[in-house]
Every structure is written in structure tokens, then in C-alpha cells.
Amino acid sequence: MYYFFLKYKVFPTFVIIFLGYFMKKITSLFIILLVSLYSFSLPAQDKNGLEKNADMLHKTYRFNEALLIYRQLLENTTDSLARINLENKIIFSENGKNLLEFASEPRVIEKKSFGKNTFFLHYPGFPDGSWVEMPRGLAPQMPENEKAVIYFLPESEKLIYSAPDDRGSWNLYMSRFQDSTWSAPQLLNENITSAGNEIYPYLSPDSKTLYFSSDGHYGVGGYDLYASQWDEDLNDWGVPQNLGFPYSSPADDFFYYNTPDGLYTLFASGRDVSPDSVTVYVLEFENMPVKKSVTEDYARQIARLKTNKPDDNTARPASGNTTGADNRGEEYSEYNKAVTLVRQLRQDIAKALDLQKANRELYNTLTNPDDLAALEKKIGEEEARTLALQDQLNSASRNLQQIEMDFLSKGIILSQEEEKAAPQTPSAQTGAPLPFAFADNRLGRAPEIRVDKPEPVLDPSFKILDEAVIADIEDFPSSLTYQIQLFVLSKEASLKALKGLSPVFVRKTGTRYSYAAGIFHTYGEALSNLNKVRKLGFTTAVISAYNEGKSLPVKNARILEKKLAETAVYQIVIDGYPDGLPDEVLKVIRDNTEKDIAKTTESGAVKFVIGPFGKQEEARSLSELIRAVSGKPIDVEKVENR
């Protein structure tokens, strides 16, 4: 019998099926023993088969059974790469177990399969032609033979989009429209950026919630769906939360989106379709869906996201034990009223936003001052009304959530029929489904836009890296500076010849090239690094000095250094923040100095000045800390003599 199992490689499947369906009361210790004995005695190809069976268990939400196999395989695996792979799979299955504690059961209105490269064109609510090929300026690292699309409107003032970095990982970036150009792409913060890929971002209309897909955050394998909330205190995005089952799954899940009318939620998934397709699921929107603990079997059922249509393979799963509406009395009546109010407010807000948009477009066409003033007043009143409606919606949503939580605490779970009885839609009295139609948009033409080039930020700290860094001579400071002179050549040196030194500046005089490393503000600092350079093979390296960009004898430089230290006053000048210093920069400043911060304007440019500092080293030390968190132009200037 054992030979039969081994020859035809059916032992893992047999054990799993037999234990899963006929021996559920067998202890986990017995299961571990069987799997352990089998996995220990198998050659590599059979262990691969066992791992594939575990993968299938994971994909079908049988996380506990998958974990047993993964862990035993890990104990009997010595290959480092194979161990890393198994450790990752264990994490995914553990995450799956945890997410089962926070599952929801949305109502599925419609679903349809589309091509993986065009499914987003069928999401309603996007103007035809608003999906366009990404302009190259927004993705400078993207290979020439690769393309991506973004949602882009001519009136857009801010873009959040996904693009590859120099290592091929897809990250989320932001660009703003200012003065006829788009700002250089800026990577979103470390909360959003993972070791994997982040794709299909969507920003909610109020700009408070960012939805995206990622295969690098806490998830169950493949791409999961996440939401990050805007943190007003930090002025940045918070830690993203996995949207949980059934939105995220062991398959790839993409592009979570709520329609502007507040009626539907859409997302796409690769579950149960061919590799080149995705299914777009249309769900009834829930502002604050109730999360509940579900079993693996039940999670597998709701993950299929079945509609109630006759042509769908199976009906939605039963919700469990329920209590009839007739026995609920006032509780059920209050629930109906709460649902009605939330839906009505959501639709009122959608209409108000549409009206505001129309009035703003009209405002841009008017020229009469009286008409402009009247419409401006009307727009202000509409904005105030929308804010009031939003406050009402927040309050009504909290009330509905509380009622649903009360239901759960009492063991009441609304049945499918009872949910239909609630006045959820204009056609709720008949129990008819929400009317929905997929869009059929076309891909628009790529816009011609101007994108600012990112300002190169020179890291002035002296380093010895794997590869040398050549700095632009224009970035060389004008203040008194020491360097370590490497050599003078009649032709340009290769990066390899510079042996990892950073930064290295090249000066050309006639036909000769002079190479010098480092930016040192004191002679002592340069001297402490001279032997490091000589030990790399630059045995004739010496210290050189510059002031106002011109060479001067080191002896004269040391005299000048002493004089400046006795008489100079310094200040830090920060450029590039017209709207004010961000919180992270202010925190660095306040944590490291009590010096004053002054805002100045020169030729229309806003600058911030910190000081005065009696020692240049003190100012430079703080300027490097600020530069590390800002990436903006920062200078240390001598401002006066005593």
C-alpha cells in the first residue's frame, strides 16, 4: 500500500482528504506525525508535490491544514532559498487565519470578466478617455518597451499613481500641478511603500482615504487590497489596513473603488478566471461594514461572491441562524430607518458634489463681476451645505454601525430576505436588484505635459561605497572647504579607478583632469579621513583647500578657518517650501535647537532662516539632519562679523 502511495504520489492528497472529512476529531499531533514522517522520507520532487498540495489548501482557505504541511517541510529543509520561500508561505497562511476573524459579507449586485489590461475601462463614473497612457515624465525609470495607464483629467491638480523605480518595483508617487508644470514625482511615505509592489491607487473624492493594491504589505499572498487614512496631525498617510475577506483573497485583487453616487463598490480579482482575465465584482456599498469571525468553510463560500441571479452557479450562502423580522419589532424598524437615512444622505452628497462641479465650470466661463460674485456666493453656500451633509452622514453611519453591532452581540444575523426587506434602494419594495451598468470607456491619448526634473540632492558626507559617486562641480560649496586630492590625469578616470569614494569632484584645466574627494569644513575633519584614502591605494593623496570656489594654500586656509571661527555668525537657509515647513522638518529643528525660525521672501521666493549659530559646525550638523528628511535645497551661510 505504501508503495502505491509513493509511486502515484497520492499520499498527501489522501491524508488531507481523509483527515479533513472523516477524522476531524483526530488530534493535530497525529496529523503532524504523519506529515512529518512522510515529508522526511521523500526526495525533493515529492516534497515539491507536497508543497503544491499545501499551496492548494491555502488557496481554498484551509489555512490550518496548509500550515501543518509548510511547517513540517520547513523543519526538513536545509536549502536557504527554499526555507525563505516556506517561511513566507507560513506568514501568508497565518495572516489568512487572522483575517478570518474580521470578515464581511457584502451583497453582490453584478460581476463580469474582462481582459486584465483593460478591465478598469469598464468601471462607471470615469469620463470617457480619462484613462490615458502615462506620460514618460511621470515615470522616468520605466523601460521604453513598457507602458502603464493612469487616470488623468486636464483640470487635475494632484496625481497619485504607480510607477517603477530603478530596480523595477512599482511604488506610489505624487505630483502636483503648479505654474504650468507638474512637480517632480515624489515617493509616498514609508507607511505606503513596501518591499513589494503598490499598484492601482485610487483617492477618495474627499482626499481622506487612499485605496491601493500591494503584494508587499500584511496579506495572504498575491495582491491584496488596502486603505490608508490621511492623518491630519502628521500631515501624511497613515499605516494601510488590509480590507480583509472577501475583498482580499489568496488570489490577486485589484482596484477598489466606490462609485460617486454612493451606491456601489467595485473591485477586480483573478480568482476563478484565466491568468489573462479578471472578474469585476459590483457590490452594494457599505459605509461601515460589520466585521465578524468566520470559519474557513464559510470564508470559502462568501469568497465566491455569488449573485442571486439564476445563471450564477450557486446562490449566496445562508447567513446562519436568524431571528424573524416579526419578532424584532422596534429593533428591526430602527434598523430600516438607519439604512434609509444613510443611503439618502449618501445620494444627497453625490448630487451636491455634482452641482458644485457644474457651478465651478460655469464660473470659469463668466466675465460679468456681478454674475461672478453671485455664483461665488452660491458655491460657498453649497460647500457649507455639503459639509453639513457629510457631518450628518458620519453621525448616521455611526448609528447604523452601533445597531449592527448590537445585533451581533445579541446573536442576531440578518438573513438575506430580511436585508432585502430593508429600504435599501428605490426598488426595495419589490426586492429587485440595484440597477447597474458597466461602462465601456475608451483609452484616451497621452497628454503632453511638462514635468519638473527632480533636483539632485548631493550627499556631502564622505563615504567609501561599492561604487564611486561623481558629483556635479556646480554643487561644490562656495564657503571654505577642504578636500582630499587624489590625482591629476591627462584623461578621464573610470569609476572603478576611484575605488568607491563619494563624493568625488572633477575639475578640468586645459587637457588635464583633477580628482578630489569629500567635502570637509575643517582641516581636522579632512585629516582624519586622509589615511583611509591612502590605504585604498592613493598613496600620494594630500589635503587641498578652496574658498569661494577658488584654490588656496592649505596653510592660508587654516589661518582663515581660525579667524572665521572667532568672528563668524552662521544661519541655515531652507528653500522649496512656499506653503510652510512640514511637520517632519519642524520636528527635526525643534528636537535639535532652540534657535529662531524666520520666514523671508526674496524675489518672490519663500525661504526659512534658522539661527544665528556661533559655530559653523553646529549649523552644518543641523543642516545635514534637515536635509536627510527633506531633500530640499539647504545652505549654511555666513551672515555677519562681530
Task: Report which of 571, 589, 462 is spatially closest to residue 522, judged by C-alpha positions.
Answer: 462
Q: Which of 249, 259, 220 is nearest to 91 (CA)?
A: 220
Phi, psi at 310, each rounded to 5°: -60, -30
Asked if the structure places residue 263 within a domain, the reply is yes
**536 lies in the same domain as 511:** yes
User: What residues have CB less than 8 Å from 276, skipping those under 6 apart?
Assistant: 115, 116
Q: Which one, of 484, 480, 479, 530, lies nearest residue 503 by Cα?
A: 484
Q: Are residues 141 and 267 in the same domain?
A: yes
Looking at residue 93, its pLDDT comes to: 92
Beta-carbon contacts of residue 98 (< 8 Å; ≥ 6 apart): none
Q: How far apart are CA 390 and CA 396, in angstroms?
A: 10
Within a domain: 112: yes
Structural domain containing residue 246: 104-302
| Residue 582 sits in the same domain as residue 461 | no
Q: How many other CB atoms are there within 10 angstroms of residue 630's CB atom? A: 18
Domain end among 101, 131, 151: 101
Q: Splitting the chain (642 residues) into consecutive groups of 10 residues, what average pLDDT does each group show?
A: 38 46 48 50 66 92 92 88 88 91 88 94 93 88 84 87 86 88 85 88 90 92 92 83 92 93 91 91 81 86 84 52 42 69 78 82 84 86 84 80 65 47 43 74 87 69 88 86 95 93 93 94 90 92 93 93 76 82 83 81 77 80 82 75 46
**Between the CA atoms of 424, 427, 431 and 432, what dihedral angle is there, to the nearest 10 degrees?**
-120
Residue 57: enclosing H or E segment and its boundaries? helix 44-59
Same structural domain for residues 462 and 375?
no
Q: How far apart are the first and last CA of the chain?
A: 97
Q: Tell me the torsion sign for CA atoms 27, 31, 34, 40.
A: negative
Same domain, 157 and 95: no
Whether pTM > 0.85 for this model: the answer is no
> Is position 239 within any domain?
yes
Residues 210 and 126 in one domain: yes
* Residue 425 pLDDT: 43
Q: How many domains does the chain have?
A: 5
Based on the fold, state whether residues 154 and 294 are members of the same structural domain: yes
The residue from 75, 101, 127 where one domain ends is 101
pLDDT value of position 458: 61
Q: Is residue 207 part of a domain?
A: yes
Element (H, E) at 561: helix 554-567
Same structural domain, 546 and 566? no
At 110 the three-state DSSP class reads strand
The reported pLDDT for the residue numbered 456 is: 59
Is position 640 within any domain? Answer: yes
* 298 and 169 co-located in one domain: yes
pLDDT value of residue 542:
95
Quote the pLDDT of residue 599. Answer: 78
Cβ atoms of 629 and 582 within 8 Å: the answer is no
Domain stop point among 552, 585, 619: 552
- The CATH number that applies at residue 611 is 3.30.70.120
178 and 296: one domain? Answer: yes
The pLDDT value recorded for residue 443 is 92
CB 243 within 8 A of CB 258: no
Q: What is the CATH number of the domain that holds 482?
A: 3.30.70.1070
Report the pLDDT value the prediction gives residue 42, as an integer from 0 to 100.
52
Q: Is 216 contained in some domain? A: yes
228 touches 238 (CB < 8 A)? yes
Same domain for 193 and 297, yes or no, is: yes
Asked whether residue 437 is domain-assigned, the answer is no
**150-157, Cβ contacts within 8 angstroms, sequence gap of 24 or more:** 151/126, 151/202, 152/444, 152/447, 153/127, 154/447
449 domain-assigned: no
Q: Are residues 268 and 141 in the same domain?
A: yes
